[in-house]
Amino acid sequence: MSSLTAVIDLDLPGPTISRHVYGHFAEHLGRCIYGGFWVGEDSPVPNVRGIRSDVVEALRALRIPNLRWPGGCFADDYHWRDGIGPRDQRPRMVNSHWGDVVEDNAFGTHEFLDLCEMLGAEPYITGNVGSGTVREMSEWVEYVTRADDSPMAALRRSHGREEPWKLPYFGLGNEPWGCGGNMTGEHYADLARQYATYARNHGGNTLYKIAAGANADDYAWTEALMKVSQKLGCGCDPRGFFQAISLHYYTMSGDWSVKGHATDFDVEDWYVTMRRAHRMGEILRGHANVMDAYDPEQRIGLVIDEWGTWWEVQEGTNPGFLHQQNTLRDALVASVHLDIFHRYAQRVSMANIAQTVNVLQAMILTDPDSGALVLTPTYHVFEMNTGHHDASSLAVHVKGEIPTRATDGADVPLLSMSASTKDGTALVSLSNLDADAPTSIVLDLRGREVTGFEARVLTAPTIQTHNTPEHPDAVAPVAHDGVRRHPRGLEVDLPARSYTTVRLVLA
Ligand code: AHR
């Protein structure tokens, strides 16, 4: 009999978990765009207008709500006019951040927005504050969103797109404290207001403008932005200069000089990694506290538009391409983060895991030689969680002590949970972070009758297990029969190192 019970009041729905916390990120970095999404129209790899069909098909199953592009650090080097017009006439540039390779601008604004339409995802474009001009940013927004015969709308039409696109999300630069210009928070805060002023709402398109936020626990950065975000009565957008502030935090078992190996790690590395994943909760709390002081009504969103694991690059690959494998450990890092985002549903309006294909904690890895496509363990967590999109969060109260493991100067909880409800169902997510020991938990389900249930589990024989073209389903979800009725609700077996989802049908 398990000593742990989780109480869930099924009739007390909390804030909505925006589907946008399941957003993704695609930068001009390594093989994310080129070779990942984009193969070109003449490629033997099946494609539609140059975009890989198998990648689109796999990602559509995740119901990607939004896609961030073109960076990342690349965004503040990117000049959008280089990426429009006939491809053979587009100027080249050096991608100095990522591999020092020459970029031919084959994938630009039209290609990105075409990709978003294929995916059914809303575009999130990050503008260039670091090395671009206010006019350049302003004209980009006009080019994409304006309907009449304005100069930029006419230019767009001359390149074959009659109707404007909808552009809901717009980033005001990226990491200005680092690759985006090495600025102080105060200097950037002024620039964010200036650039936001000229990133205009055209016709029916209203931009949700996202100021480039802090690195991890740099709460002073968030404070510098919050101080200036909401000056009203200035003749500008009554919603304030920007509607959200971003945050970047990466998980690694080492530090920035030696981040840790993606597949060759031991149990201690596993627990350190889980500790670092849990840190996201502490960091969110710190930023939320600062934001609450200036914005108690929680109108300004927190957008975690870069998160995920960052390991040493795979041996034999370009160090600037950030190509890494993805094991069961990455899957559980993802599930822990998503639980945290669910708990902060009121403040966290969006999140974007880095990055969708072939870079960092990817959903998909493609083989550069054979072109074979592999779904990663992280992909499966995102797929298992689609039921949380736009669902109402449910508080999960644990009775009893969650087991912990001392590591990295802290006690790491070995269980992570969250729950939500929508459309007469509920979804409960349960991560058992114990590398070796199975456990079980009683779900004390109150307030509504549960007429049916089904469960799936993602686990593997070892913590290092990962998917390859030869073994594409080494880590893949299967139906879980370890769930049974209990006088209080359900009892769920949780295998060691596993992620389980239980879907409840409610009367
Ligand atoms: O995601 C990789 C890089 O990490 C991004 O370009 C940058 O914003 C961050 O430092």
CATH of domain 19-390: 3.20.20.80
Render pLDDT for 270-297 as a digit per residue (tens, 0 to 9): 999 999 999 999 999 999 999 999 999 8
Which atom of ligand 1 has the smallest separation from the CA of 354? 1
Q: What is the pTM of this model?
A: 0.97
Confidence at residue 236, expressed as pLDDT on a 0 to 100 scale: 63
What is the distance in A from the centroid of ligand 1 to the CA of 470? 30
- What tokens appear for 465 in the block? 């297990």
For the Cβ of 306 lying below 6 angstroms from any atom of ligand 1, the answer is yes
- What tokens appear for 373 in the block? 């496509």
Q: What is the CA radius of gyration of the chain?
A: 23
- What tokens appear for 106 in the block? 């084959």
Q: Which of 95, 175, 182, 360 to mutate to test the pocket of ligand 1 (most atoms within 8 A of CB)?
A: 175
Q: Which of 28, 68, 73 to mutate to test the pocket of ligand 1 (most atoms within 8 A of CB)?
A: 73
Which atom of ligand 1 has the smallest separation from the CA of 306? 1
Residue with CA at minimum distance from ligand 1 atom 5: 72
- Does the structure show a pLDDT above 90 at 230? no
For the Cβ of 176 lying below 6 angstroms from any atom of ligand 1, the answer is no
- Decide if 75 contacts 171 (C-beta within 8 A): yes
Q: Could you report the predicted ipTM of this complex, rounded to two decimals?
A: 0.99
Strand order in the sheet with 439-446: 396-399, 5-9, 439-446, 489-494, 483-486
Peptide bond preceding 413: is omega within 30 degrees of 0, i.e. cis?
no
What is the distance in A from the centroid of ligand 1 to the CA of 136? 22
Mean pLDDT of 47-58: 98
Render pLDDT for 425-451 as a digit per residue (tens, 0 to 9): 999 999 999 999 999 999 999 999 999
- Decide if 142 contacts 149 (C-beta within 8 A): no
**SS3 labels along 62-88:** CCCCEEEECCCHHHHHCCHHHHCCCHH
What is the distance in A from the centroid of ligand 1 to the CA of 19? 23
The Cβ of residue 38 has, within 10 Å, a number of other Cβ atoms equal to: 25
- Does the structure show a pLDDT above 80 at 353? yes
Residue with CA at minimum distance from ligand 1 atom 6: 72
- Does the structure show a pLDDT above 70 at 232? no
- Decide if 112 contacts 69 (C-beta within 8 A): yes
Render pLDDT for 78-127 as a digit per residue (tens, 0 to 9): 999 999 999 999 999 999 999 999 999 999 999 999 999 999 999 999 99
DSSP 8-state code for residue 438: -
407: CB partners within 8 A, 6+ apart: 268, 271, 272, 275
Q: Is 175 a catalytic residue?
A: yes
Compute the residue count for the chain: 507
3-state SS of the chain: helix, strand, coil percent to 5? 25, 30, 45
For the Cβ of 139 lying below 6 angstroms from any atom of ligand 1, the answer is no
What is the distance in A from the centroid of ligand 1 to the CA of 6? 37
What is the distance in A from the centroid of ligand 1 to the CA of 162? 34
Residue with CA at minimum distance from ligand 1 atom 2: 72
Hey, where are the domains in the chain? 5-10+393-506, 19-390
Q: Is 41 a catalytic residue?
A: no
Q: Which of 77, 248, 353 to mutate to test the pocket of ligand 1 (most atoms within 8 A of CB)?
A: 248
Mean pLDDT of 319-342: 98
- Does the structure show a pLDDT above 90 at 238? no
Q: What kind of fold does domain 5-10+393-506 have according to CATH?
A: Immunoglobulin-like (2.60.40)
Render pLDDT for 118-156 as a digit per residue (tens, 0 to 9): 999 999 999 999 999 999 999 999 999 999 999 999 999
For the Cβ of 174 lying below 6 angstroms from any atom of ligand 1, the answer is yes
